[in-house]
Structure formats: C-alpha cells, structure tokens
C-alpha cells in the first residue's frame, strides 16, 4: 500500500499529523539549514499530501527518506507502486538529493540497480525543486521516458516497438512493496 | 615542474576582447540572431563543443597561444614562466613561440577529448572567427569545457575580506607579460578587491554581495525599505514566471532578512553592518538562499522580457528551458545574459552602477571595462554619487573590485551646527577660563552683538546703547548642546550667565532715563519665552569683561553673534512700542521667526501691570 513507509516509520497509522512530524522537528540537529528545509518540506507534505506520491523520513535525522510513487494511469506502470530512497546532503536544497528506485523497475531511464538518469537530479537540479516536485517528475518520467539516452537500451527499444512486450516485462520485474520488505 | 591547465576556449574568448566587448551583443539585438545563423554556435552547457564551431586563435597574435593561464573556478592561477620576457617579440620569436604553443601539451588532467580539440585549434590555418557580438552567446558553451565539478575543491572563504588589489599583481608576478602589465596597473585604478570562492557560484555571489554592499555604501536607511518594497513588487514577475510563493518565500525571507539586518545596523550606526554582510555571505545556506533569490529574479526578468533576451538564446528551445538550465539550476555559473538581466532587474532600478572589468589575455595595458551600467540618482539621471558595483572577471571566475574612493574615510558624525559652534569658540574658551577663571565666554567674544537689537544686551559698561533689560531668552539651543562634551557647552551655558550682568549692571548703573522697558521687573517677559533663572552674578563680573577681553579684534557693535540667523536671535521679546511694531519682534508677522504671542494666565496676572505700562506708550 502506498502509505507503507509512513506506517512503518510511525509504528501505526493512527498518529496525528502533529505527532508524526513532531518528533523530527524537536530533535537537535547538526545542520540547521538543511534540517530546517527538510522539516518544512515534511510539514508541507503532511498537511498537503499530493495524490499518488508519499514521502517520509526514515529516522529523526531526516537525511534519508523513503518515498513512493504510483504509476500513472494509461501507462504500463498503471496501478503499480514504486518505492524509492532519497538521500539528502548537508547542503540540500542546493544540491540534488540522491534518489534510487528500491522497487525493481523496467524503464529506459532506470538501470537495474535503480539508478535514475534524470537531468534535474543531476546538473539541472535547482533549489526551487523539492521532494514533491522530484517525485512528480519521476512519476511523469514513467509515462514519458527519454528513449534517446537510455540506461536500459532494451526498454528504450521496446517502448516504441512493442508496447505489449514492454508491459509484460514491466509487470514481470515489479514487486509489491510488501514483497520488498519481506 | 608544474604545468598549467589549459582551456583553449577561455583563451580564445579573451582574445576576441580587443575588438568589441562581449556585452555589445546585448546592444545589438537585431543583429544577434542574424549573426548567430552564420555560426554553429554550440549548444547548451556541457554538451561537447563541435570543433569546427570554435573560434580559432587569432593568427595575428600567435604568441598568445603559449603560456596559457587558467584562472578558473579555483580562483588560483598556475603559470609557466615565460621564457622571453619581452612583451613585443620579434617575428621570428613569435614564430618560435607559436611552434612551442602548438607542441605544448599540458598534463594529463585534460581529457583526450579536450586535447583533440586543442590540437584542432592549434592548426595554424585561418579559421572562421566568431563574430564578436556573439561572444556573449559563446561563453556559456565555452564554459562547458570546465563545468563546475566535484573534483575541484575550491579554497578560501566564500567571500573574502577586502584587501589591496596589489595582491592580484603579486599573484601574477610570474605570469604572462600581458597579465603582468595589466595587474601592475590595477592597484592605481582599483585599489581594493575581494575574493569570491570559485565554487561555481562566484558570479552570483559577487553580484549579490556587491548589491548589498552598495546598499550600505548608499548609507540611507530609507533605501533599504525602498528596495524591500521594490523587490516585493517584483514578486509579480516571479508569479508570472510560474514560481509559486511557497517556492520562493524561503529565499525571499533570507534576502529580506539581510536587508533588514543591515538597515537596523545602519539605523543604529553601530558600524556592524559590513561585518554582518560578510558573515552572512560566508554562511553557505543563507548565502545560497540569497543567491537563489537573485537567480529567480534573473529568470523571471528574462522570461518577462523575451524580446530582449530571446535573440541571444536561440540554442534553447525556449526561454523557460534556458532559464531552468542556466539560471535556476543550483550549480550553474552566471553567464552574461543572466548578468545583464540582473543589471536591469536589480542594479539599475536601485540606482546603482555596475561595471564588469575583464582581466584576460587581450592586448592592452589595463583591464577592460567591458560592461557598464551607470548609477542614477534619485532624479533618474546618471549620478556620480551613486554607488557603483565593480566585478573583476577573469574568464570563468568573478571577484569584486573597488576603487579607492568607494570607501571614503569615515567622517565624524557631528551635526553641522555643532561643528560650527565648536569652531567658533575654540579660541575663546581656554583664554577666558585660564586668564580669569570667569566662565563668561560669550562676554569675551569681541564685538559680538545681536543684530536685531543692535547690541542692546551688551553690558552698558562697554557699550552704552539701548540697554534692554529684556530677559535673556536664548535658551533654545542649550538643551541640545549641553550633553555634548565639546567646546560648545560653555557657549551655550554661558548664554544665560552672560545675560545676567545685563540686568545687574543695567539696573544698578543706568537709571532709567528714556527707556520705557526699564520700568519692567527683570522677570517680565512674554509667556512664550520663559525667563531663565537669573544666576547670582553681580556687577563685579562686568568690569573684567571689558578689561580682559582677549582676541585680536576690537569690539564692534556691528558684528554678528554666533547663531545669528539660526532663529533664536530674533526671539527677543521687544517691549517698547517701537520694537513691538517692528519686524524684529518675533510677534510681528514680518519676522522670519514669526511667533504669535500667546496668552498665559500666569504671566498675565503677575505682570499685567508692567505690560500695560510698556505698551501704553
């Protein structure tokens, strides 16, 4: 389910929003800039959740988050949920977070280790992006791969040539979050 | 032997300087697109530059190809000692240098691809040169040879202390003669400079820092509020460019927070503003927030003025893409388009000037002033007094430059009146105090007279005209001056003491003859002029006044008194019928310090008898 990361982090889904983000905010931090920014993002995500994406810190130091995105409708990924890990450097948001697909995914721009080839996660990163916009960008990347510079050549080829086979491979490679955790 | 890194692209770029400054491109918009069509200008950043499109080394300056100097992001220079110190070498020497240059191989830090490109560049054939006005477009691409990379570990503070620009000359002491000549001439014109760390943000950091510094140099508290209001109004542009408020509010908060901190310091005159500024810009997070704010403003400005910037950015599908990749991206150096946009959006409307000075290998004895925005005064016309922001550009890197007059020596914060009074009394205070111990300094000032009353308040022992017993009312300046530990104090305080002998001597020595006011009791006055408490001075003080009067001048009744025209002089209550009706009376409507008489019950009942008498005649 989509909220698995949240549920796991909080030990239960019944916690209020305040309780949920109260813990990370109250803890002393080593890097105020970075943490303040991430706390604010967490607040935004909790108060204004975006349909189809979730994100929550793994622990109280907030440097690592776990996120999920749902495959967009009308794509081979429709109905699938993908888990990602996000790692933030101390000078976030002025450097891009490191984002990896934890759920195995068959996609032209993602390699078999889950590494993503997306310009905004590399040199085109801007401080105006945030966790939410990254996740939404990744979500749209699922439906609009850049097949001209693929990491997964076979996927790039099949995307245009054989959608049915493409879809079959996507489903074959996918694992539900529950399977992943196990 | 340490050998320099070589960046041919930078080198070529510098060479083209001689003919036309790159920012001229911005001034020739209508040609830019045209010119652009002729050259295959390179694509977006980080795409390898196609070799044929490179502007080739100018064949007429072959020596320049040797001994490259790189002053890239590191902010450091690495040089090779020039074998031939002569600035202008003979032809055969030039030919030999060209040969050396062609054969020159840097260390293997340069990738094979770059080496191949350099080799191509070295072919001594006449290659098509990019049109000068295209330079502004080429630079971002040229920079792609040396993108900000993690392998560089820039050193030094994010923004350094202001230091003498002779340090730059020292830095280049062993460098190429062109640099040597230029940097040697630098300190005479630009006395100071400030380093910015070359971490890829240096240009943004430099312009943002100098913007705030120019605010400080303007020294006007109101200016900070004005700018905050103006920048707030520019948020419409941000909204139009598609930035939502929750995206930019954090950056705005930091940028405005610094404005407010500086304004508070300027208002308090605690002298800490410069330190606050430097500290803030050395805090990575805060500085990056401010830089990001500047980036967003530049981006929004470019997108809202497409006609001005589109012709320079034909490599990009649209302005939005350009802005996202070359301005909004966190790790991108400022290019000329963005610098020009910030000049328009931030510098010009603030009334500041901006100069970008180039230090490169182009021939010449001085650094080139290649871009300039004149500061405008409050009236909208160019003003020499407007602070000018100066950036020193070495290809790939920005630092900050100052002229000596940008930092005038601090002046004492004294009010003008204060200073004038201090100067006036300097010669008298010690004299009177030491000679007689009498603190009645005003009495020692030779020939002081009140122009309005024609000296009527001088002690009659000295000047026998118009003894006016009107109480001294020159009390207005006293509260203002007394706290100041300056020579002004005796002057002010002695105003009161000085008058006291007037009453004493007058009453005692000059029996009333033809002066109606003599019938008045000393405390009689207009209610608006409360009489000072008459000090217990007596006539004994008067004789030494005239005898021991120091100074080189003989007293004259026609001399003005200090403070003449300051307003208080005329506020004497004239009591005779003649003076009551003259414009010297402040109660007269022609008096420049007109102050209508006010009725006060207290003085009315206590003095009404004398008043009636005085006015009856």
3-class DSSP state of A126: strand
Of A32, A93, A126, the CB nearest to B329: A126
Q: How confident is the model at residue B239 (pLDDT cuts 50, 70, 90)?
A: very high
- Residue tagged 């003085």 (tokens): B603
In a domain, B595, yes or no: no
Is the model more confident about B534 or about A62? A62
What is the per-residue pLDDT for B583? Answer: 78
Q: Check residue B344 and report its DSSP letter.
A: I
pLDDT tens-digit map of B26-57: 334 333 333 333 333 333 333 333 333 333 33
- Tell whether B330 is within 8 A of chain A (Cβ): yes
B204: pLDDT strictly greater than 80: yes
Each residue's pLDDT tens digit, B190-201? 888 899 988 888
Distance from CA of A29 to the nearest CA of B (A): 15
The pLDDT of residue A94 is above 50: yes
- pLDDT of B227 strictly over 80: yes
Residues B337 and B424 in one domain: no
Pair B447, B358 in one domain: no
- Interatomic CA distance for residues A88 and B64, integer angstroms: 45
The per-residue pLDDT for range B328-387, each reduced to its tens digit, is 988 888 988 999 999 989 998 888 889 898 888 888 888 777 778 777 666 667 776 788
Question: Quick check: is B147 in a domain?
Answer: yes
Lowest mean pLDDT among A87-91, B236-240, B536-540: B536-540
Q: What is the mean pLDDT of chain A?
A: 80
What is the pLDDT averaged over residues A18-22?
43
Same domain, B287 and B420: no
Which candidate from A91, A96, A128 shows the least CB-CB separation from B247? A128
pLDDT at A70 over 80: yes
Q: How far is A169 from chain B (nearest CA, A)?
A: 33
Do the chains contact at B331 and A93, CB–CB below 8 Å? no
Contact A44 B147 (CB under 8 A): no
Q: Identify the pLDDT of residue B410.
A: 56
Establish, for the pair of chains A and B, how many residue pairs have beta carbons separated by less than 8 Å. Answer: 52
- Report the residue from B246, B288, B331 with minimal CB separation from A125: B331
Domain extent for B435: 416-563
Interior angle at CA B337, CA B335 and CA B338, nearest 5? 70
- Which residue does chain A place closest to B248, by CA atoms? A128
CA–CA separation, B548 vs B443, rounded Å?
10
| Domain endpoint, select from B406, B440, B462 | B406
pLDDT of residue B554 exceeding 60, the answer is yes
Q: Per the CB < 8 Å rule, is A124 touching B288? A: no
Looking at the structure, tell me whether residues B136 and B32 fall in a common domain: yes
The owner of tokens 């026998």 is B464
Candidates 3.40.50.10860, 2.70.98.40, 3.10.110.10, 3.20.19.10; CATH matching A4-181: 3.10.110.10
Q: Is B284 within 8 Å of A33 when comparing Cβ atoms?
A: yes
Residue A27 has pLDDT above 50, yes or no: no
**Residue B4, CA distances (Å) to A141, B66, B575 in order:** 43, 11, 91
Contacts of A126 in chain B (CB under 8 A): 324, 328-330
**Residue ending a domain, choose from B384, B406, B428:** B406
Per-residue tokens: A28: 């002393």
Residues B309 and B214 in one domain: yes
Q: What is the pLDDT of residue B604?
A: 59
Give the ipTM of the model, two decimals please: 0.76
Partner-chain residue, chosen from B45, B243, B329, that has the shortest CB–CB distance to A125: B329
Same domain, yes or no, for B529 and B393?
Answer: no
In which band, very low, low, confident or very high, does the pLDDT at B514 lie, cut at 50, 70 and 90? Answer: very low
Highest mean pLDDT (candidates B137-151, B339-353, B383-397, B598-612): B339-353
- Answer whether A32 sits within 8 Å of B285, measured CB to CB: yes
The b-or-e profile of B146-165 (16+ CB within 10 A means b, else e) is bebeeebebeeebbbebeeb
Q: Is B122 on the interface with A (CB under 8 A)?
A: no
Report yes or no on B610 lying in a domain: no
Per-residue pLDDT band for A107 (boundaries 50, 70, 90) equals very high
Q: Is A143 helix (H, G, I), strand (E, B) or coil?
A: helix
What is the token pair recorded at B423? 């100067």
User: Could A127 and B248 be called an inter-chain contact, meaning their C-beta atoms sit closer than 8 Å?
Assistant: no
* Together in a domain, B390 and B535: no
Residue A96: closest C-alpha in chain B: B330
| Residue B445 binned pLDDT confidence (cut-offs 50, 70, 90) | low
Catalytic-labelled residue, pool A117, A138, A151, A156: A117
Of the listed ranges A140-144, B503-507, B583-587, the one predicted with least confidence:
B503-507
**A14 has pLDDT over 60:** no
Domain boundaries, chain A: 4-181
Nearest CB to B331: which of A32, A33, A123?
A123
Cβ–Cβ gap A40/B296 under 8 Å: no
- Of the candidates B46, B250, B324, the beta carbon closest to that of A126 is on B324
* pLDDT tens-place string over residues B53-85: 333 333 333 333 333 333 333 334 333 344 444
Q: How far is A5 from chain B (nearest CA, A)?
A: 26
Residues in chain B closer than 8 A to A45 (CB atoms): none
- Of B205-219, B464-478, B546-560, give the range with the top mean pLDDT: B205-219
SS3 content of chain B, % helix, strand, coil (to 5): 45, 5, 45
Task: Give residue B564's pLDDT.
Answer: 62
In a domain? residue B63: yes
Closest residue on chain A to B329 (Cα): A126
Q: Is the pLDDT of residue A19 over 70?
A: no
Q: How far is A124 from chain B (nearest CA, A)?
A: 5
Predicted pLDDT at B263? 92
- The model's pLDDT over A138-164, given as tens digits with 9 standing for 90+, comes to 999 999 998 888 888 889 989 989 989
**Per residue in B269-326, pLDDT tens?**
888 888 999 999 998 888 999 999 999 999 999 999 988 888 888 888 888 888 988 8
* Residue B425 located in a structural domain: yes
B contact residues 300-329, partner A, Cβ 8 Å cutoff = 324-325, 328-329
Listed in sequence order, the residues at least 6 apart from B202 whose beta carbon sits closer than 8 Å to its beta carbon are B73, B75, B196, B333, B397, B398, B399
Q: How far is A93 from chain B (nearest CA, A)?
A: 9
Identify the top-confidence range among A51-55, B106-110, B392-396, B578-582.
Answer: A51-55
Examine the pLDDT at B458 and tell me if it is beyond 90: no
Are B327 and B441 in the same domain? no
Spatial distance between the Cα atoms of B472 and B500, rounded to a whole number of angstroms: 8
Chain-chain contact of B330 with A94 (C-beta, under 8 angstroms): yes
Q: Could you tell me which chain A residue has the CA closest to the CA of B46? A: A123
pLDDT at A77 over 60: yes
Mean pLDDT value across chain B: 63
Q: d(Cα A59, Cα A14) in Å, to the nearest integer?
A: 18
Residue B440 near residue B541, CB atoms below 8 Å: yes
Name the domain boundary from B563, B582, B606: B563
Indicate the pLDDT class of residue B503, thresholds 50, 70 and 90: very low
**What pLDDT, in 10s, does the model give residues B149-164?**
334 466 778 888 888 8
Band of pLDDT at residue B512, cut at 50, 70 and 90: very low
Residues of A in contact with B329 (CB under 8 A): 123-126
pLDDT higher for A63 or B98?
A63
Averaged pLDDT, B509-523: 46
Question: B575 in a domain, yes or no?
Answer: no
Residue B157, φ and ψ in degrees, nearest 5: -70, 160
Q: Examine the domain organization and report whether B379 and B496 are in the same domain.
A: no
| Cα–Cα distance, B476 to B530 (Å, whole number) | 11
Q: What is the pLDDT confidence band of residue B262, given thresholds at 50, 70 and 90?
A: very high
Kindly state whether residue B581 falls inside one of the protein's structural domains: no
Chain A closest CA to B417's CA: distance in Å? 49
Interface test with A, best of B329, B332, B338 (most A CBs within 10 A): B329
Sort out which chain B residues have CB atoms less than 8 A from A149's CB and list them.
Answer: none
Lowest mean pLDDT among B1-15, B82-96, B170-184, B370-384: B1-15
Number of domains in chain B: 2
CA of A121 vs chain B CAs: smallest distance (Å): 10
pLDDT of amino acid A9:
40
In a domain? residue B578: no
Active-site residue, A117 included: yes
pLDDT score, position B593: 81
């Amino acid at each position: 389910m989509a909220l698995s990361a949240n549920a796991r982090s909080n030990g239960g889904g019944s916690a209020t929003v305040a309780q949920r983000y109260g813990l990370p905010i109250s803890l002393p931090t080593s890097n105020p800039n970075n943490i303040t920014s991430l706390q604010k993002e967490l607040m935004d995500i909790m108060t204004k959740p975006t349909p189809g994406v979730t994100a929550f810190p793994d622990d109280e130091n907030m440097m690592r988050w776990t996120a999920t995105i749902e495959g967009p409708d009308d794509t081979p990924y429709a109905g699938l949920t993908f888990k990602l890990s996000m790692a933030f450097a101390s000078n976030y948001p002025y450097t891009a977070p490191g984002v990896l697909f934890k759920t195995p995914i068959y996609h032209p721009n993602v390699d078999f280790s889950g590494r993503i080839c997306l310009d905004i996660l590399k040199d085109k990163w801007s401080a105006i992006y945030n966790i939410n916009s990254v996740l939404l960008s990744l979500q749209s990347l699922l439906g609009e791969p850049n097949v001209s510079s693929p990491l997964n050549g076979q996927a790039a080829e099949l995307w245009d040539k054989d959608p049915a086979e493409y879809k079959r491979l996507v489903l074959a490679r996918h694992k539900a979050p529950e399977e992943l955790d196990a | 032997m340490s050998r320099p890194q070589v960046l041919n692209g930078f080198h070529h770029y510098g060479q083209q300087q001689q003919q036309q400054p790159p920012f001229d491109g911005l001034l020739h918009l209508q040609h830019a697109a045209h010119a652009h069509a002729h050259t295959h200008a390179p694509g977006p950043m980080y795409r390898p530059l196609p070799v044929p499109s490179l502007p080739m080394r100018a064949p007429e300056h072959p020596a320049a190809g040797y001994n490259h100097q790189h002053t890239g992001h590191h902010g450091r220079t690495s040089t090779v000692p020039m074998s031939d110190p002569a600035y202008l070498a003979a032809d055969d020497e030039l030919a030999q240098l060209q040969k050396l240059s062609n054969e020159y191989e840097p260390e293997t830090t340069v990738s094979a691809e770059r080496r191949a490109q350099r080799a191509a560049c070295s072919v001594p054939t006449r290659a098509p040169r990019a049109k000068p006005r295209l330079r502004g477009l080429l630079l971002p691409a040229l920079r792609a040879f040396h993108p900000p990379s993690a392998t560089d570990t820039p050193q030094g503070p994010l923004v350094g202390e202001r230091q003498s620009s002779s340090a730059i000359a020292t830095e280049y002491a062993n460098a190429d003669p062109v640099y040597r000549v230029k940097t040697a001439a630098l300190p005479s014109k630009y006395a100071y400079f400030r380093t910015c760390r070359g971490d890829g943000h240096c240009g943004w950091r430099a312009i943002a820092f100098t913007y705030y510094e120019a605010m400080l140099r303007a020294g006007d508290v109101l200016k900070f509020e004005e700018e905050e209001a103006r920048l707030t109004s520019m948020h419409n542009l941000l909204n139009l460019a598609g930035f939502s408020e929750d995206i930019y509010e954090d950056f705005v908060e930091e940028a405005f927070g610094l404005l407010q901190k500086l304004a508070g310091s300027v208002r308090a005159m605690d002298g800490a503003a410069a330190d606050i500024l430097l500290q803030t810009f050395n805090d990575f997070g805060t500085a990056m927030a401010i830089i990001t704010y500047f980036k967003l403003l530049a981006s929004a400005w470019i997108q809202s003025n497409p006609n001005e910037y589109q012709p320079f950015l034909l490599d990009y599908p649209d302005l939005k893409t350009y802005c996202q990749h070359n301005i909004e991206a966190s790790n991108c150096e400022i290019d000329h388009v963005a610098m020009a946009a910030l000049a328009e959006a931030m510098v010009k409307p603030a009334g500041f000037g901006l100069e970008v000075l180039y230090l490169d290998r182009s021939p010449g004895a001085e650094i080139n002033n290649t871009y300039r925005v004149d500061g405008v005064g409050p009236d909208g016309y160019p003003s020499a007094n407007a602070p000018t922001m100066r950036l020193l550009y070495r290809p790939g890197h920005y630092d900050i430059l100052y002229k000596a007059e940008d930092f005038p020596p601090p002046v004492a914060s004294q009010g003008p009146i204060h200073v004038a009074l201090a100067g006036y009394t300097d010669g008298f205070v010690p004299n009177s105090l030491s000679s007689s111990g009498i603190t009645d300094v005003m009495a020692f000032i030779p020939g002081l007279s009140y122009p309005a009353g024609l000296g009527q308040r001088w002690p009659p022992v000295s000047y026998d005209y118009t003894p006016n017993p009107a109480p001294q009312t020159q009390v207005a300046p006293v509260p203002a001056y007394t706290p100041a530990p300056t020579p002004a104090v005796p002057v002010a305080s002695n105003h009161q003491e000085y008058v006291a002998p007037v009453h004493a001597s007058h009453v005692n020595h000059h029996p009333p003859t033809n002066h109606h006011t003599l019938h008045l009791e000393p405390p009689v006055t207009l209610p608006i002029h409360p009489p000072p408490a008459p000090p217990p001075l007596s006539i004994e003080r008067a004789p030494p006044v005239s005898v021991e009067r120091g100074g080189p001048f003989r007293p004259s009744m026609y001399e003005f008194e200090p403070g003449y025209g300051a307003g208080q002089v005329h506020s004497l209550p004239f009591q005779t019928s003649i003076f009551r009706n003259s414009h010297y009376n402040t109660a007269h409507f022609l008096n420049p310090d007109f102050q209508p008489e006010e009725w006060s019950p207290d003085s009315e009942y206590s003095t009404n008898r004398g008043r009636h008498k005085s006015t009856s005649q």
